Amino acid sequence: MTASSFRSIILQNPYFDPACTFLLLETAAAAGTEAQEETKAEAGEITPDWSIAGDKTSEGFASNSASSASPTVRGFACGVTGGDLPLGADAGYLTILLLDEDIADDHHYSVLLDVVEQRFRDLGKKQAEALFFNPMRLPWLIPETPGHEHNNAPGIPVDSALHRFLLKQGYAERSRQNGMYLDLAGFTIPTDIQEKENQAARLGYRVEWFDGKRHTGLKELLAALGNPAWEKEISRCADEGIPFLVAAHLDRAAGFAGPVIREPSGRGYFAGIGVNPEDEGKGLGSILFFRLCEAFRGIGTEYMSLFTGETNPALKIYHKAGFRTVKQFGVLRKDLDKRAKELHQS
């Protein structure tokens, strides 16, 4: 992450909360003496060796972290909340717990985690979440690629030090997400998918670019799918002329895939694929997905990446298209009320 992307992803995010953003600082004593660390913090003493610093504004936070006179930054933590987010009424989202490699141990992770969780409790949140609804979308490098990246980490990397630490701290792994990757250079549509397309055509279905002047029923389709994020984004795409695919039955939108956007990195961005429950069972989801891959290749997209649950039946479709699993993430949750009760009883 660069200074520019840190600013856009974290500091300029509409959900940025300075009171839930912390630095772990190490302050050296005068030259010639052993290093000492401060104990002051906004919320009181944290440990005898370290201090936690927060700030009041994104501008102040940025200037403090960059100042040459500041103590050495050894760790960073950030969480977000929002009543309008999925689960937002009850949950705070754990975004980042980051430590220098030489101090990446349970003790120092605990220092950061405790202050983030306390902020969640202060705001009345009952649980802490690490999952893909977090509005601070953290990109990650895809292994064994020439610098390709995915635009959102859907949880905590499995088998990482942070993953192991959070499990010990009472976080439960609710599911695992597979990060998947496809190099589009050699992509082709298999003959059996073409045959599915022919069968669907005999029933009056075809996959094509959405045309607002011709296609009907998009609003009803999105409502039937019951995904607020899809409803918001695809409706906006229709209004603004951003391209996406539809599976149409006599010009009625029965499914969608997209939008079809080539990101500056060369990655193909799409929000999702959905088929009206009334039109399922005709292979439309598979057809939409393969035509989406073809559409991305047609606009010069280098690769596609996505994440999906490790038990999702759609994995078969992704593997058939040539996707491979490159990383796994744990979707984690902790009951904050339970921890508060334990502290009260002790």
Q: Are residues 60 and 119 in the same domain?
A: yes
Q: How far apart are CA 231 and CA 217, in angstroms?
A: 13
Q: Which residues of the chain have pLDDT under 50?
A: 30-50, 56-68, 344, 346
105 shares a domain with 192: no
The answer to whether residues 210 and 105 belong to one domain is no
- What letter represents residue 208's amino acid? E
HEC assignment per residue over 186-249:
HCCCCHHHHHHHHHHHHCCEEEEECCCCCCECHHHHHHHHCCHHHHHHHHHHHHHCCCCEEEEE
Q: Which tens digits make up the pLDDT trace of 258-282?
A: 999 999 989 999 999 999 999 999 9
**Is residue 175 included in any domain, yes or no?**
no
Distance (Å, rounded) from C-alpha 159 to C-alpha 166?
11
* Inside any domain, residue 335: no
Q: Are residues 134 and 188 in the same domain?
A: no
Closest CA to 126 of 87, 84, 170: 87
Residues 103 and 220 in one domain: no
Domain annotation covers residue 121: yes
The residue range of the domain holding 296 is 184-329
Q: Is residue 151 part of a domain?
A: no
Res 53: pLDDT: 56
pLDDT of residue 65: 40
Angle, vertex CA 102, rays to CA 97 and CA 105, nearest 5 = 50
Residue 156 lies in a domain: no
Provide the whole-model pTM: 0.78
Residues 193 and 282 in one domain: yes
Are 200 and 312 in a shared domain? Answer: yes
Same-domain pairing of 192 and 323: yes
Q: Which amino acid is at 112?
A: L
If asked whether residues 19 and 106 sit together in one domain, one would say yes
pLDDT, residue 339, reads 54
In a domain, 97, yes or no: yes
Residue 69's SS3 state is coil
**How many distinct structural domains can be found in the chain?**
2
The pLDDT, as a whole number, for residue 327 is 96
User: What is the model's pLDDT at position 56?
Assistant: 42
Q: Which residues, 6 or more positions from 14, have their beta carbon under 8 angstroms from its beta carbon?
A: 135
Q: Are residue 324 and residue 198 in the same domain, yes or no? A: yes
Q: At what angle do helices 228-240 and 218-225 cross, to 10 degrees?
A: 160
pLDDT of amino acid 2? 82
What pLDDT, on a 0 to 100 scale, did the predictor assign at position 340?
52
* 193 and 134 in a common domain: no
Nearest-angstrom CA–CA distance, 252 and 143: 41
* Residue 40 belongs to a domain: yes
**Calpha distance 224→229 (Å, rounded):** 13
**Tokens standing for 90?**
């009850």
Both 15 and 101 in one domain: the answer is yes
If 0-12 CB within 10 Å is exposed, 13-18 middle and 19+ buried, where does residue 264 land?
exposed
pLDDT score of 54: 57
| Domain-embedded: residue 345 | no
